[in-house]
Chains A and B, each alone.
Chain A
Amino acid sequence: MVAAELAMTLIGAGVGAVLRYVIGGWVNHRMGPEFPWGTLAVNALGCFGLGFLEGVAPEDRVLLFVLGSGVIAGFTTFSTLMLETLNLAFAKERDRAFFNILGSLALGIPALSAGIYLGSGV
């Protein structure tokens, strides 16, 4: 049972990574190279998803592990955010680098709360 859960979590994370590649890449292409919109969109979307999950099934540890640690955690990314922020700072775009961090938090945490609120209402 535990092995099956783990396998589902890992496969979910792979699917999440593929979704990040496709959605993030598409957003970046649409919005242009001036700002890493793709990572911002992916992270905010993932925060909403995790919040929704927490709202719907706050007690179901298995579901939270399989989906929250799998597909959603694989979908969102912290390392790319750090690298893209530094790249902006090195390109003398200090305000954009700052906005990248601030915007990720300012979008991610409300998205999480909105997800919990909407999820617990279902």
Chain B
Amino acid sequence: MKKQDRRQEAQPAAPPRVVAQTTLRLRSELECERAIRLAHRRGIATATAYRGPQGDESSPIFVIVIDEVPALEAFLPELQETVPEAPISVIREEVVHLAPPDFLRGGMLRPKPFRAQAGHLGWVFAGGTLGAGARILVEFGARYVSPAQEVFPWGTMAVNVLGSFAIAIFGTLLFERFMEERERMFWVLGFLGSFTTFSSYALQTTESWRNSVILGGLYGGGSLFLGLLAALLGIRITRRAI
């Protein structure tokens, strides 16, 4: 009984009966990108672009912007300023159905409130413990293989580059929704987050910089360069595979 009451309270107010819809005719993708990004920044409910009927490069691009009448009217002058040469037309449409119910008030764009879930914390903790174990293993191995680890911490560098490669794979799988939230907590936030380390990287860069500017620069810049390269490679390979 009580639960039902709360659910009724949570229901948003009835949606407006009329919305305003603007159609813009643009000549370039650059203009289209500007218009859509501005709409997103201003929290406009929806801004969608499509190419004209011919569908080839020469046909114009149309952008449709929809929101409640006052919100759209307040947005129009700024939009016209952004794409000054584009013809803009505004029509009003009657709303038949709105989903989700708070769509026009930015329900899709608004970030969800951050709540750490107890179950998630457990997965992050477990992943973090194992990730650190793997990092320490690699660092000890590097020290065992070559004492150069003390001067040029190539073990930590390998960890960071390897971790960047792996997180790119997981990140792409996550983006394509091949992964569950629990797996993200364990692998991405827990294991890989703890496997790689920024604090040791910063300390080692300053220390080896003090010993030798060349080695310090090579370590500091090399880690970033190889890390970005590895992540790029990870994204490319995963996108090709799926």
Chain A residues, Cβ within 8 Å of B20: none
Identify which of A18, A22, A32, A69 gathers the most chain B CB atoms within 10 Å of its CB.
Answer: A18
Q: A11-B129, A15-B125, A25-B114 are in contact. Are A79 and B193 (CB under 8 A)?
A: yes
Instruction: With CB as the reference atom, state the residue of chain B lying closest to A50.
Output: B199
Assess A9 versus B125: contact at CB under 8 Å? Given A17-B193, A32-B111: no
- Count, chain A residues at interface, CB 8 A: 53
Contact A29 B114 (CB under 8 A): yes
The interface-forming segment of B51-59, B69-77, B83-91, B161-169 is B161-169
* A36 is an interface residue with CB less than 8 A from chain B: no
* Distance of A78 Cα from B223 Cα, bound (Å): 9
B200: chain A residues at CB < 8 Å are 50, 68-69, 73, 76
Question: Which residue of chain A has its CB nearest to the CB of B192?
Answer: A79
B194, A108: Cβ atoms closer than 8 Å: no
Would you call A20 and B199 a contact (CB within 8 A)? Answer: no
User: Which candidate, B94-102, B146-154, B228-236, is the interface stretch facing chain A?
Assistant: B228-236
Contact in complex: A47, B224 (CB < 8 Å): no
Complex contact A43–B199 (CB within 8 A) = yes
Chain B residues within CB distance 8 Å of chain A: 33, 111, 113-114, 116, 120-121, 124-129, 131-133, 135-136, 139, 160, 163-164, 166-168, 171, 185, 188-190, 192-203, 205-206, 220, 223-224, 227-228, 230-232, 235
12 contacts between A and B (CB under 8 A): A15-B125, A17-B129, A17-B194, A43-B198, A46-B198, A68-B199, A77-B192, A79-B164, A83-B171, A86-B228, A108-B202, A112-B199
